[in-house]
Amino acid sequence: MKKSRGFIVIALILAFLIGMGYLAATTVSVTSTSQKKGDGVTDAAGIKLGLDLSGGVSITYRIKDENPSQTDIDDTIAKLEQRIEGDNTIATTEYSVYQIGDDRIAVEIPGVYDANAVLAKLGNPGNLYFITQTDADGNANYEYDSTIATEHPEWSPYSLTSDIETLIANGSVILTGEDVQSASAVYETNSTLGTQEPVVSLQFNDSAADIFGQATTAAYAAGQSIGIYYDGHFISVPRVSAAILDGKCVINGMGDFDEANELATFIRVGAMKLELEELESNVVGAQLGGQALSTSVKAALIGLALVMIFMIIMYGLSGVVASVALLLYTALVVNFIYWFEVTLTLPGIAGVILGIGMAVDANVIIYSRIREEIASGKTIAVAMTDGFKKSSSAILDGQITTFIAAVVLMFLGSGTVKGFAYTLMISIILSLFTALVVSRFLMKALYAVGFKSEKLYGRAKERKSIDFMKRRILYFVISLVVIVAGFIGMAVNAGSGNRALNYSLEFVGGTSTTVDMGKNYTIEQVEKEVVPVVADVIGDNAIQATTVDGTTNVVLKTRTLTQEQREAVDNALADNFGAVLVESQSISSTISSEMRADAILAVIVACICMLLYIWFRFKDIRFAASAIAALVHDVLVVLTAYALIRISVGNTFIACMLTIVGYSVNDTIVIFDRIRENMHSVTTPTPENLAAVANKSLTQTLSRSINTSITTFIMVLFLFILGVASIREFALPLMVGLICGSYSSIFIATELWYIMKLHLGKGRLIKK
């Protein structure tokens, strides 16, 4: 690169950094302002924040059906979750749908401050029926009123000739909303005109396809229609133009796409077993408190500054380049989250933190490799080229492995899992861009303009290989003792009448207490003054507090309280604040069984996909098996921390475990990549040679492992120091996970690979 071109590259990168930094700072500023106002600006101008960080709309529905079964309630909750995810106008990666008492269901949607708008989108969930035009005797089931059609075109001109119960009894109702598998507005090509026209695409369950086929065959032969009846009126009466035998059909004749989308919405909402009616809707404050976001941003900025200082001290000019790349990465992440309208919650912040760690890691790998190339006698220019080239495989394999996991989590996960996946995917892509593209061009540009002294880049010191393999049994025993201690702790907790883990109300439900404080309280005042009083009464600090916009009400969600405890809480609030009880009810877990099942399935599938990728890239399943074993080890160690320290297991638990999974695999892959490289020099495989390669590879990557762990740990440490209580409960186990992730990569994964290489699989060195 010529000197003049070097100056141009540096100027362009700095200009890009300043531009992205300005946009990111503006976005964060607008987001923080919107959060304080609670006026809905966040949704339009800043980053979309989850209910835990910014608040949103809370809607309570009452179940109109008498004595609903728990199965029907669970199915209805699942349908509402599908409804929220299925409507792109209110779609969000973070939401909560849960049961209150015996006959109520609550829906909480973040980042929206217009309850009426959400209600309009969700509709008033009720029963949906597909009705034939005539009954078995040829009598009309519904009739058309031309007067209504002329004078009130906004009304349905069709009306039933009998009540719905009669039509169900005589077989005129052929299907209900339960039989609908999907309904969506799409464009279809008109076979006559060749134009695109909006239609509603319907698909029924397999069990309903035959019934619908028979009904449409009869209706087509008679030139009749099939009416779609919802919430007391007809929403569509399409004429059957052909027998439909595969359970798939379209409803055409839509005026525009919005009309098609509205009809599809009504059909989806009506696909429920229970009929609901709105009981109340409120705008609520942030579940983690108003300071959660500001303290997280402050912690991130301080941590980022310290990481940059650390990198400059450790790597000199390369550290300066890394700092520029890291600043650009952070600005791009903020902007991409905003541009792609990702809903940011605490789990999302976890994904960003993990991404920062991986971005630092990529730079550390590159600069360490450049130093090694300089130490081997190469010139600075050649060392740069070879350093980037030789480090790219380790970086790509680690990042792609984690990216595969993120993609699986995005498709199979829901709620917090999906939010984590989105931010992690963005972080991985941007960390690759800043490390492999920005850092590369900036370093070559700096060299071109005159920064050519070896002292600016450093030279790797020759280190004596550490014999890690010699003490492998000791490492395994230490890990086994820690993990067994966790299981013993869970058993003791369960035996003493407590749960094995300290599950929060997100997992097991609890009690929701609404009180009228008599005056307006900010969420910070509630956390500082009201929450401690309640915590003293119930002996538990795991309390979620929210304010209700436009009222003086405060909602306190706690673990399940007995009647005596409820009365004690009421009396304490009345005595200390003059508060009046509005309502106290039991609530179900906000993490539904479906969401838990989705999370478990997503993690299992992600592990399988990662195993297959590592197997494919390293051509040896023993690499993959030992990497996954180390991953399981880390999850179990963190679980031990949850069990023994009694950290609350809630939404953040899932985010923490997913972060550990991503970090652990990435850390291990880097070491395995060096083993793969060093194995090329082994001409005669023996146990001694194999141990030498493993020890050499671990020694060569040891400083990188330690430095990466330190930088990522710094970020999480300041979250713990500066964060509110809920964020500290997330940061503490995450710090444990980061430590054990580094430990397992150095002391467990490689040692397992060595043992497997000796005793298992094709080409094992020690035969039985």
Q: How confident is the model at residue 113 (pLDDT cuts 50, 70, 90)?
A: low
Give CA–CA dist 692/412, Å, rounded.
42
What does the pLDDT average to over 489-502? Answer: 86
Residue 385 has pLDDT above 60, yes or no: yes
Give CA–CA dist 529/239, Å, rounded.
63
Q: Is 510 helix (H, G, I), strand (E, B) or coil?
A: strand
* 510-587 has the same fold as 128-271: no
Looking at every residue in the chain, the average pLDDT score rounds to 82
39-69 b/e (C-beta count within 10 Å ≥ 16 → b): ebbbbeebbbbbbbbbbbbbbbbebeeeebe
The residue assigned the tokens 């009694």 is: 646
Residue 459 has pLDDT above 80, yes or no: yes
Question: Contact, 505 vs 650, CB < 8 A?
Answer: yes
Phi, psi of 724 (to 5 degrees): -75, 175
Residue 286's pLDDT is 58
What pairs with residue 516 in β-bridges? 553, 580
CATH code: domain 56-120 is 3.30.70.3400
Residue 696's pLDDT is 92
Residue 141's pLDDT is 93
What pairs with residue 555 in β-bridges? 514, 546
Residue 41's pLDDT is 35
Lowest mean pLDDT, pick from 25-39, 299-313, 358-372: 25-39
- Written out in words, the top-level CATH class of the domain with range 469-488+593-759 is mainly alpha
CATH architecture label of 128-271:
2-Layer Sandwich (3.30)
Q: How far is CA 639 from the centre of its chain?
A: 20
* 273 vs 70, residue with greater confidence: 70
The candidate with the shortest Cα–Cα distance to 287, out of 420, 108, 414, is 108
CATH architecture label of 3-31+289-453:
Up-down Bundle (1.20)
pLDDT in tens, 641-691: 989 988 888 766 776 777 777 777 878 888 999 898 898 888 788 888 999
Residue 42's pLDDT is 40
- Written out in words, the top-level CATH class of the domain with range 510-587 is alpha beta
Instruction: Report the share of the chain in percent with pLDDT over 90.
Output: 22
In what helix (H) or strand (E) does residue 616 lie, and over which residues does it extend?
A: helix 593-618
* 609 vs 85, residue with greater confidence: 609
What does the pLDDT average to over 577-599? Answer: 77
Residue 549's pLDDT is 75
Residue 35 has pLDDT above 70, yes or no: no
Give CA–CA dist 747/671, Å, rounded.
11
Give the total residue count for the chain. Answer: 768
Residue 43's pLDDT is 42
Residue 630's pLDDT is 92
CA dist list (Å): 684 to 176, 343, 681: 71, 55, 9
pLDDT in tens, 316-352: 899 999 999 999 998 998 898 888 877 777 666 766 7
Q: How confident is the model at residue 414 (pLDDT cuts 50, 70, 90)?
A: low
Give CA–CA dist 472/704, Å, rounded.
21
Lowest mean pLDDT, pick from 475-489, 642-656, 683-697, 745-759: 642-656
pLDDT in tens, 421-448: 788 888 889 988 998 899 999 999 999 9
Domain boundaries, the chain: 3-31+289-453, 56-120, 128-271, 469-488+593-759, 510-587
* 623 vs 269, residue with greater confidence: 623
Question: Contact, 128 vs 265, CB < 8 A?
Answer: no
Instruction: Report the share of the chain in percent with pLDDT over 70.
Output: 88
Question: Contact, 636 vs 435, CB < 8 A?
Answer: no
CA dist list (Å): 444 to 3, 321, 381, 383: 10, 10, 8, 11
Rounded to a whole number of angstroms, the distance between the first and last alpha carbons of the chain is 58
Alpha helices in 646-765 (DSSP H): 651-679, 687-722, 725-744, 750-759
What does the pLDDT average to over 603-614? Answer: 84
The radius of gyration of the chain from alpha carbons, rounded to an integer in Å, stands at 30
What does the pLDDT average to over 238-262? Answer: 86
Q: How confident is the model at residue 167 (pLDDT cuts 50, 70, 90)?
A: very high
DSSP 273: S
Q: Is 651 helix (H, G, I), strand (E, B) or coil?
A: helix
Non-local (6+) Cβ contacts of 576 within 8 A are: 533
The residue assigned the tokens 């390669």 is: 693
Lowest mean pLDDT, pick from 113-122, 494-503, 624-633: 113-122
Question: Contact, 111 vs 37, CB < 8 A?
Answer: no
What does the pLDDT average to over 1-17? Answer: 91
* 380 vs 286, residue with greater confidence: 380
426's tokens = 């963005």
CA dist list (Å): 475 to 177, 480, 673: 58, 9, 22
Three-state secondary structure readout of 327-352: HHHHHHHHHHHHHCCCCECHHHHHHH
Give CA–CA dist 197/194, Å, rounded.
9
Q: How confident is the model at residue 52 (pLDDT cuts 50, 70, 90)?
A: low
392's tokens = 């790219």
Q: Considering the entire predicted model, what is its pTM? A: 0.69
Non-local (6+) Cβ contacts of 705 within 8 A are: 667, 670, 671, 742, 745, 746
**CB neighbour class for 685 (10 Å; exposed up to 12, middle 13-18, buried from 19):** middle
The candidate with the shortest Cα–Cα distance to 300, out of 739, 742, 731, 737, is 731
What does the pLDDT average to over 209-217? Answer: 91
What does the pLDDT average to over 21-38? Answer: 70
Residue 44's pLDDT is 45
Q: How confident is the model at residue 531 (pLDDT cuts 50, 70, 90)?
A: confident
Give CA–CA dist 590/352, Å, rounded.
24
Question: Contact, 241 vs 250, CB < 8 A?
Answer: no
CA dist list (Å): 426 to 354, 421, 431, 500, 670: 11, 9, 9, 36, 21
Residue 39's pLDDT is 39
pLDDT in tens, 136-157: 889 999 998 888 878 777 778 8
CB count in 10 Å sphere of residue 241: 13
* 604 vs 505, residue with greater confidence: 604
Strand (E) positions, 111-179? 128-132, 142-144, 158-160, 173-176
